[in-house]
A and B are shown apart, each in its own frame.
Chain A
Protein backbone atom coordinates (compact mmCIF):
# COMPACT_ATOMS: atom_id res chain seq x y z
CA UNK A 1 0.00 0.00 0.00
CA UNK A 2 1.30 3.44 -0.89
CA UNK A 3 0.66 6.92 0.44
CA UNK A 4 -0.47 7.88 3.90
CA UNK A 5 -3.09 5.72 5.58
CA UNK A 6 -5.08 6.79 8.61
CA UNK A 7 -7.29 4.62 10.78
CA UNK A 8 -9.99 4.73 11.86
CA UNK A 9 -11.79 6.97 9.37
CA UNK A 10 -14.46 7.85 11.89
CA UNK A 11 -14.42 7.73 15.68
CA UNK A 12 -17.03 8.61 18.27
CA UNK A 13 -15.83 8.62 21.84
CA UNK A 14 -17.07 9.68 25.24
CA UNK A 15 -15.20 12.22 27.31
CA UNK A 16 -13.90 9.54 29.67
CA UNK A 17 -12.70 7.16 26.94
CA UNK A 18 -9.18 6.47 25.78
CA UNK A 19 -8.61 5.90 22.10
CA UNK A 20 -5.77 6.11 19.59
CA UNK A 21 -5.48 7.34 16.03
CA UNK A 22 -3.02 5.61 13.75
CA UNK A 23 -1.09 6.90 10.75
CA UNK A 24 1.18 4.92 8.46
CA UNK A 25 3.25 6.05 5.48
CA UNK A 26 5.06 3.97 2.90
CA UNK A 27 6.75 6.83 1.08
CA UNK A 28 10.13 6.67 2.76
CA UNK A 29 9.56 10.07 4.30
CA UNK A 30 11.39 11.14 7.44
CA UNK A 31 8.96 13.70 8.84
CA UNK A 32 5.40 13.12 10.03
CA UNK A 33 2.78 15.56 11.25
CA UNK A 34 -0.55 15.75 13.01
CA UNK A 35 -2.88 18.55 11.92
CA UNK A 36 -6.32 19.43 13.26
CA UNK A 37 -9.01 20.81 10.99
CA UNK A 38 -11.95 22.49 12.68
CA UNK A 39 -14.72 24.35 10.91
CA UNK A 40 -13.80 27.92 9.88
CA UNK A 41 -10.25 27.59 11.16
CA UNK A 42 -6.91 27.08 9.42
CA UNK A 43 -5.32 23.69 9.36
CA UNK A 44 -3.70 23.74 12.79
CA UNK A 45 -0.35 22.07 13.19
CA UNK A 46 -0.26 19.96 16.36
CA UNK A 47 2.96 17.94 16.33
CA UNK A 48 5.98 17.38 14.11
CA UNK A 49 8.27 14.37 14.20
CA UNK A 50 11.51 14.25 12.25
CA UNK A 51 13.45 10.98 12.24
CA UNK A 52 11.19 9.75 15.10
CA UNK A 53 12.06 12.70 17.30
CA UNK A 54 9.43 15.28 18.21
CA UNK A 55 10.60 18.62 16.91
CA UNK A 56 7.48 20.67 17.45
CA UNK A 57 4.57 20.68 19.88
CA UNK A 58 2.29 23.55 19.04
CA UNK A 59 1.00 24.13 22.58
CA UNK A 60 -1.28 21.14 22.34
CA UNK A 61 -3.15 20.11 25.55
CA UNK A 62 -1.75 17.06 27.29
CA UNK A 63 -4.96 15.10 26.64
CA UNK A 64 -3.41 14.60 23.18
CA UNK A 65 -0.33 12.41 23.37
CA UNK A 66 1.63 11.57 20.21
CA UNK A 67 3.87 8.59 19.69
CA UNK A 68 6.27 7.90 16.84
CA UNK A 69 7.86 4.46 17.18
CA UNK A 70 9.55 4.70 13.77
CA UNK A 71 9.61 6.95 10.71
CA UNK A 72 6.70 5.09 9.12
CA UNK A 73 4.20 5.14 11.99
CA UNK A 74 2.62 7.89 14.01
CA UNK A 75 -0.03 7.60 16.69
CA UNK A 76 -2.17 10.13 18.51
CA UNK A 77 -3.39 8.87 21.87
CA UNK A 78 -6.52 10.54 23.15
CA UNK A 79 -7.87 10.64 26.69
CA UNK A 80 -10.44 12.72 28.58
CA UNK A 81 -11.24 14.80 25.52
CA UNK A 82 -13.73 17.64 25.40
CA UNK A 83 -16.56 18.14 22.89
CA UNK A 84 -14.63 21.06 21.36
CA UNK A 85 -11.92 18.57 20.37
CA UNK A 86 -14.31 17.18 17.77
CA UNK A 87 -12.63 17.79 14.42
CA UNK A 88 -10.93 16.15 11.46
CA UNK A 89 -7.45 14.97 12.42
CA UNK A 90 -5.07 14.79 9.51
CA UNK A 91 -1.73 13.05 9.35
CA UNK A 92 0.87 14.07 6.79
CA UNK A 93 4.42 13.13 5.89
CA UNK A 94 7.27 14.68 3.91
CA UNK A 95 10.98 14.22 3.33
CA UNK A 96 11.64 16.83 6.00
CA UNK A 97 9.83 19.61 7.86
CA UNK A 98 11.04 22.33 5.55
CA UNK A 99 10.49 20.33 2.38
CA UNK A 100 7.18 21.13 0.82
CA UNK A 101 6.15 17.78 -0.65
CA UNK A 102 3.59 16.96 2.01
CA UNK A 103 1.34 13.95 1.47
CA UNK A 104 -1.79 13.88 3.58
CA UNK A 105 -3.90 10.99 4.75
CA UNK A 106 -7.69 11.06 4.45
CA UNK A 107 -8.09 11.97 8.09
CA UNK A 108 -10.00 10.67 11.08
CA UNK A 109 -13.30 12.40 11.77
CA UNK A 110 -13.48 12.52 15.57
CA UNK A 111 -16.65 13.25 17.49
CA UNK A 112 -16.48 13.64 21.26
CA UNK A 113 -19.80 13.17 23.03
Chain B
Protein backbone atom coordinates (compact mmCIF):
# COMPACT_ATOMS: atom_id res chain seq x y z
CA UNK B 1 0.00 0.00 0.00
CA UNK B 2 1.47 3.30 -1.11
CA UNK B 3 1.88 5.74 1.74
CA UNK B 4 2.93 8.64 -0.47
CA UNK B 5 0.96 9.18 -3.65
CA UNK B 6 1.59 11.39 -6.62
CA UNK B 7 -1.40 10.75 -8.80
CA UNK B 8 -0.34 12.82 -11.78
CA UNK B 9 2.43 11.06 -13.69
CA UNK B 10 3.05 14.09 -15.87
CA UNK B 11 2.33 17.80 -16.15
CA UNK B 12 2.95 20.30 -18.96
CA UNK B 13 3.12 24.01 -18.26
CA UNK B 14 3.90 27.05 -20.37
CA UNK B 15 7.07 28.95 -19.52
CA UNK B 16 6.34 31.80 -17.12
CA UNK B 17 3.19 30.21 -15.75
CA UNK B 18 2.71 28.48 -12.40
CA UNK B 19 3.44 24.76 -12.01
CA UNK B 20 1.56 22.97 -9.24
CA UNK B 21 2.62 19.47 -8.30
CA UNK B 22 0.49 17.55 -5.84
CA UNK B 23 1.20 14.86 -3.29
CA UNK B 24 -1.07 12.97 -0.90
CA UNK B 25 -0.09 10.79 2.02
CA UNK B 26 -1.91 8.28 4.14
CA UNK B 27 0.18 8.02 7.30
CA UNK B 28 -0.69 10.75 9.80
CA UNK B 29 2.55 10.02 11.67
CA UNK B 30 4.62 11.60 8.91
CA UNK B 31 6.01 14.85 10.26
CA UNK B 32 8.49 16.03 7.65
CA UNK B 33 8.00 16.32 3.92
CA UNK B 34 10.45 16.91 1.12
CA UNK B 35 10.53 17.46 -2.60
CA UNK B 36 13.32 16.08 -4.75
CA UNK B 37 14.05 16.92 -8.35
CA UNK B 38 15.56 14.45 -10.78
CA UNK B 39 17.05 15.05 -14.20
CA UNK B 40 17.67 12.13 -16.58
CA UNK B 41 20.89 10.21 -15.87
CA UNK B 42 21.29 11.96 -12.50
CA UNK B 43 20.28 11.09 -8.96
CA UNK B 44 17.48 13.01 -7.20
CA UNK B 45 18.55 16.27 -5.57
CA UNK B 46 16.88 17.93 -2.63
CA UNK B 47 14.71 20.90 -3.55
CA UNK B 48 12.61 22.08 -0.60
CA UNK B 49 11.09 20.70 2.59
CA UNK B 50 8.44 21.47 5.18
CA UNK B 51 7.89 20.46 8.75
CA UNK B 52 4.45 19.37 9.89
CA UNK B 53 4.31 22.32 12.29
CA UNK B 54 4.20 24.70 9.33
CA UNK B 55 1.77 25.12 6.46
CA UNK B 56 4.03 26.93 4.04
CA UNK B 57 7.70 27.16 3.19
CA UNK B 58 9.10 29.37 0.47
CA UNK B 59 12.48 29.37 -1.26
CA UNK B 60 12.76 31.65 -4.24
CA UNK B 61 10.47 30.45 -7.00
CA UNK B 62 9.54 27.33 -5.05
CA UNK B 63 6.85 27.16 -2.37
CA UNK B 64 5.56 24.09 -0.61
CA UNK B 65 2.14 24.10 1.04
CA UNK B 66 1.03 21.55 3.59
CA UNK B 67 -2.58 20.78 4.53
CA UNK B 68 -2.36 18.32 7.40
CA UNK B 69 -6.08 17.80 7.77
CA UNK B 70 -6.31 16.77 4.13
CA UNK B 71 -2.96 14.93 4.23
CA UNK B 72 -1.97 16.84 1.15
CA UNK B 73 0.99 18.88 0.08
CA UNK B 74 1.78 20.76 -3.07
CA UNK B 75 4.80 22.31 -4.71
CA UNK B 76 4.32 25.60 -6.56
CA UNK B 77 6.90 26.83 -9.03
CA UNK B 78 6.46 30.44 -10.14
CA UNK B 79 7.42 31.41 -12.75
CA UNK B 80 8.16 28.09 -14.41
CA UNK B 81 11.29 27.88 -16.52
CA UNK B 82 12.39 25.32 -19.13
CA UNK B 83 15.20 24.24 -16.79
CA UNK B 84 12.57 23.14 -14.30
CA UNK B 85 11.64 20.27 -16.63
CA UNK B 86 12.41 17.17 -14.57
CA UNK B 87 10.79 14.47 -12.47
CA UNK B 88 9.70 15.68 -9.05
CA UNK B 89 9.46 13.23 -6.16
CA UNK B 90 7.53 13.87 -3.01
CA UNK B 91 8.94 12.17 0.11
CA UNK B 92 7.88 11.87 3.73
CA UNK B 93 9.56 11.03 7.02
CA UNK B 94 8.10 9.41 10.11
CA UNK B 95 8.61 11.04 13.48
CA UNK B 96 10.22 7.92 14.91
CA UNK B 97 13.61 9.36 13.99
CA UNK B 98 15.00 6.11 12.69
CA UNK B 99 13.06 5.21 9.57
CA UNK B 100 14.02 6.03 5.99
CA UNK B 101 12.29 8.41 3.63
CA UNK B 102 9.20 7.14 1.81
CA UNK B 103 8.91 8.34 -1.77
CA UNK B 104 6.07 8.77 -4.22
CA UNK B 105 6.12 7.69 -7.87
CA UNK B 106 7.14 11.09 -9.13
CA UNK B 107 5.59 13.60 -11.52
CA UNK B 108 7.31 14.49 -14.78
CA UNK B 109 7.11 18.25 -15.33
CA UNK B 110 7.62 19.65 -18.81
CA UNK B 111 7.94 23.41 -19.11
CA UNK B 112 7.31 24.50 -22.67
CA UNK B 113 9.05 27.59 -23.99
Contacts and interface: CB of A to CB of B under 8 A. Distances in A.
Contact of A42 (B41, B43, B98, B106): B106
Given A104-B45, A106-B41, A42 B100 contact: no
B99 A97 contact: yes
Interface stretch (B14-22, B59-67, B71-79, B89-97): B89-97
B110 interface: no
A106 B91 CA distance: 18
Interface in A79-96: 90, 92, 96
B98 A40 contact: no
B41 to A, nearest CB: 7
A45 interface: yes
A43 B103 contact: yes
Contacts of A40: 9, 105
A42 to B, nearest CB: 5
A14 to B, nearest CB: 24
Nearest to A48: B100
Which residue, A48, A97, A101, has most C-beta atoms of chain B within 10 A? A97
A102 B101 contact: yes
B100 A97 contact: yes
Contacts of A105: 43
Nearest to A98: B97
A42 B45 contact: no
B46 A33 contact: no
A50 B46 CA distance: 21
B21 to A, nearest CB: 15
Interface of A: 4, 6, 9, 33, 35, 40-43, 45, 48, 55-56, 90, 92, 96-98, 100-102, 104-107, 109
14 contacts: A35-B103, A41-B105, A43-B44, A45-B102, A45-B103, A48-B100, A90-B44, A98-B93, A102-B101, A104-B43, A104-B44, A105-B43, A106-B41, A107-B42
